[in-house]
Structure 1
Amino acid sequence: MRTAVIGIVIGSVVGVMLGTTVIAPRLTPEASKAAIKQAKDGAEAEKVDVEKEHQEIIMPPAGPTRAVIRWRMASAYASSMPLLGSMAKRIGKNIWEVSDGGIEIKMFEPGQMVPTEDMFEAVASGAIEAAFSSPALWDGKAPAVALFASVPFGPSPDEYMAWYYFGGGSTLMLDIYRKQGIHSIACGMTAPAAAGWFRRAFTTPDDLNGIKMRTRGLTADVMGKLGVTAIDLKEADIFMAFEDGRIDAAEFSLPVIDAQLGFHDMAGHYYFPGWHRPATFFELMINKDKWDALPRSKKSQIETVCGDNVRFGLAESEAAQYEALKELTSKGVKIKRWPAQIMTAMQDAWRTVAAEKATADADFRIVWRSLSDFRKNYEVWKELSRP
């Protein structure tokens, strides 16, 4: 019995081997045709059927060409600018990779497609599909959007992200932008900014009275309460404004960016902390109709890239400041902290500004209340968890 079983097994194996090594290679279209010709009944009909079957197997019909989504993205920041330019460039590169070539977002330098100040309208109207910017640039369109960029004496980066992603901030931001025809996504973040460059030192709040300073937005409103004349200038015009006397102070960004722009050649006192921007969000604005037309998978890919850009921007900006400060001090820059009484005066001025804005604009009031309530509750966790 055992011998018989072995014989059966050996016979099966040999049969399989013959099938795979001798018979199978012969089962080509040509061999099949010869076999069909030798069939006694229905030779021609069977030949046609078998040939058709083999053609379908060997030469499958080509699938439809995949459509690539191609968008133009204007940037408020030059690609050569540290941090901000890096974040802008990463959007196009990363979305191409994440989407496996399904989404192409081409970055254009400031002013190359539209003037920076016109990017909001260009995206809303569909003249361009997207733009990379700071919400702070559009407070003239909707005052509340400034609170999605940075908040004077506001939350640190971790607290700001907690409110935006899980405290209702992102929903409020979408509601405001979509009324304007834009879908906006947080798409970058930087560490605390410097407070600004000044040509002399200060000891009391009264010392600020009469200063002409390049600043804008909520910062300008606060400084105005202390007697500072705020002048809104593009970064390219700040250096010349120092030279011709239009300003004697300026705030712009973090040390690594300020150093490249050369402000230290015009003003030697560099003040901290940047009370006006303890954390700063940047955004990807997308035309609302273009966004709504995307399949869910493409929306998720863009959201994923922007979330990673927030991580990248915050980490890079935190890591880059020491070397920049070291370089600035080697050039004679005096690094200073605001005296306590000036900080107190600025904070009091901010409370007044926030109350005025909330009274004047319903959206500002809603967003400010949401952020304030979140921070009040978060303070419990903050006190318990921080050493």
Structure 2
Amino acid sequence: MFKTRKSLLSVVSAVTLSTALIGLSTEASASEKVRWKIPTVFGTHLPGLGDPIKLVTEQIGAASENQVQFKVYEPGKLVPPFGITEAVKNNQVPAAYAWLGYDQGKIPASALLSAVPFGMEPWAYAAWWYDGEGKKLAEDLYAKHNAHPVLCSVIGPETAGWFKKEIKTLDDIKGLKIRFAGLGGKVLQELGASVTVIPGGEIFPALEKGAIDASEFSMPAVDQMMGFDKVAKYNYFPGWHQTYTASHLLVNKTVWDKLPDDRKALVDMACTAGTFRALTRGEAIQGDIIAGFPAKGVKATRMSNELLAGLKKASDKVMAEQSAADADFKRIYESQQAFAAKYSTWKKLAYLPDDL
């Protein structure tokens, strides 16, 4: 009888312990759920530029069986587009889909992570990020601002801008009122333009009302959706000021550091997939848009080599000045330049020339 009772107590104890462990396991799983509000700087209807975060949200939810969920907010719905980094830094939001170039005023080197005049092509930038020093340098830079950047989108060059009048020489830029973001804006200021930076949603009315004479924003398929072709009929190429456009999932660093490793890996994987799909999407849809320009009275023009050489000279001056003024800028720019030089050796040998 005593042995039977003892055995029964052992069984009960084992069941109780097992139940407790299951409870702890369930609580641990529940604690690992991620529910993030994600404000965006670009409308999610914009192909390649704004929609990558939608794909990332869908994929990360499916892959985690909804243990990780993002709720995406359109520009201005949760925080102002130009206030995204501050909101992430202060943990007003856990993360955001951002274009880091808008941080240029407070973090000069941030512009290099988003777009560089006469910089790398998008696949070269991605190679620098993943296989060069890019990821580490960016993380070090933003750690100072309690944020962790994850590359989440790269697309090809923007157009060189939509203008209401023809641009044939550098003198034609002087006195223009123009919306230009990032380092390209500093180059045009160097050449005598009056440069302003306004959010994407404000560009069309500014062009329509004559508050600005010209603007850049993105690739032709995006710009058409913004309506620029209705009010500015001269669209210039190539996008000398923004040879790639990189966007990032910017996560509050304290939030990121507390994530379990499997959740970090899931976010990284989803954003890596988003980066590739943004690139393919952006490259796939531009030709048809440009083919429709003549019917709309839009003239697509490639800038002369002489004009590009003048822009390159002004860009080199701006980059040198920025490097001299900020150690982080100098470090990141030199890393990009060194990587681009090595990459060019491969590119020149490996790829067919365009003029065959």
Give yes or no for TM over 0.5: yes
Moved >3 Å (runs of 4+):
44-54, 60-63
The answer on whether the counterparts of 1:205 and 1:341 sit within 8 Å (CA) in structure 2 is no
The CA RMSD measured in Å over matched residues stands at: 2.1
Q: Which one-letter code corresponds to 1:319 in the other structure? A: A
Alignment partners' CA distance in 2, 1:75 and 1:207: 35
1:160-171 aligned within 5 A: 160-171=125-136
Greater shift in the superposed pair: 231-240 or 314-323: 231-240
Aligned to 1:252, what secondary structure does the other structure show?
Answer: coil
Once the two structures are superposed, residues 170-219 of structure 1 have per-residue CA deviations (whole angstroms, 9 ceiling, x without a partner) of 11000000011001111111111111111122222222222211112211
- Identify the match of residue 94 of structure 2 among 117, 124, 129: 129
Q: 2:49 is matched with which residue?
A: 84
Residue 49 of structure 1, CA deviation: 5.5
Tell me, in whole angstroms, the C-alpha distance in 2 between the residues paired with 1:147 and 1:156: 13
**Could you say which residue in structure 2 is the equivalent of 1:93?**
58
State whether structure 2 residue 52 is matched by structure 1 residue 103: no
Match of 1:145 in 2: 110
Structure 2 counterpart of 1:156? 121
The residue that corresponds to 1:304 in the other structure is: 269
- The residue identity in structure 1 corresponding to 2:323 is A
8 Å contact from structure 1 (residues 70, 103) kept in 2? yes
1:331 to 2:292 alignment: no
Q: Which moved more, 1:143-152 or 1:63-72?
A: 63-72
Contact 1:187 1:283 in 2 (8 A): yes
Query: Residue type matched to 1:383 in 2?
Result: K
8 Å contact from structure 2 (residues 47, 281) kept in 1: no
**Which residue does the alignment assign to 1:359?**
324
SS in 2 for 1:335: strand
Q: Where does residue 166 of structure 2 map in the other structure? A: 201
**Per the alignment, in what secondary structure is the counterpart of residue 84 of structure 1?**
coil
In structure 2, the residue matched to 1:244 is 209
- Counterpart in the other structure of 1:118: 83
Q: Distance in 2 between matches of 1:353 and 1:260?
A: 32
Which residue is 1:276 aligned to?
241
Q: Name the count of aligned residue pairs.
A: 343
Task: Tell me how far apart the structure 1 counterparts of residues 330 and 50 of structure 2 sit (CA, whole Å).
Answer: 33
Cα distance in structure 1, aligned partners of 2:81 and 2:212:
22
Distance between the aligned counterparts of 1:269 and 1:215, measured in 2? 16
Q: Secondary structure at the match of 1:213?
A: strand
Residues of 1 paired with 2:108 and 2:307: CA distance? 26
- Note the 1:373-384 alignment, pairs <5 A: 373-384=338-349
Q: Which of residues 214, 219, 223 in structure 2 aligns to 1:254?
A: 219
Q: Aligned pair 1:289/2:257, yes or no?
A: no
The one-letter code of the counterpart of 1:314 is L
The offset of 1:142, in angstroms, is: 0.7
Match of 1:180 in 2: 145
Return the letter of the residue paired with 1:323.
D
Which residue matches 2:198? Answer: 233
Superposed displacement of residue 47, structure 1 = 9.4
The alignment-based identity, stated in percent, is 34
When Rg is computed on C-alpha atoms for both structures, the one with the higher figure is 1
TM-score by length of 1: 0.83
- Deviations for 1:289-309, whole angstroms, at most 9, x for unmatched residues? 000001111111110011001
User: 2:40 pairs with 58, 61, 75, which one?
Assistant: 75
Secondary structure of the residue aligned to 2:136 is: helix
Aligned residue type for 1:151 = V
Q: How far apart are 1:48 and its partner, in Å?
A: 9.7
| Structure 2 unpaired stretches of 5+ | none
Q: Is the 8 A contact 1:184 1:286 kept in 2?
A: yes
Q: Measure, in 1, the Cα distance between the counterparts of 2:176 and 2:69.
A: 46
Asked if 2 retains the 8 angstrom alpha-carbon contact of 1:185 and 1:306, the reply is yes
After superposition, the Cα gap between the structure-2 partners of 1:51 and 1:293, relative to the gap in structure 1 and judged at 3 Å, is closer
Would you say the 8 A contact 1:156–1:278 is kept in 2?
Answer: yes
Tell me if 1:340 matches 2:305: yes
8 Å contact 2:151–2:271 — kept in the other structure? yes
Question: 258-267 or 94-103, which moves further after superposition?
Answer: 94-103
In 2, distance between residues paired with 1:205 and 1:269? 16
* Partners of 1:259 and 1:328 within 8 A in 2: no
SS of residue paired to 1:147: helix
Judged with a 3 Å threshold, the aligned counterparts in structure 2 of structure 1 residues 119 and 342 are, in CA distance, closer, same or farther, namely same
8 A Cα contact 1:77 1:88, kept in partner:
no
Q: Name the amino acid aligned to 1:124.
A: K
1:91-134 Cα deviation digits (max 9, x unpaired): 22222122232212211111111111211111101111000011
Q: Which has the higher contact order (CA 8 A, sep 6+)?
A: 2
Q: Give the drift of 1:379.
A: 2.0
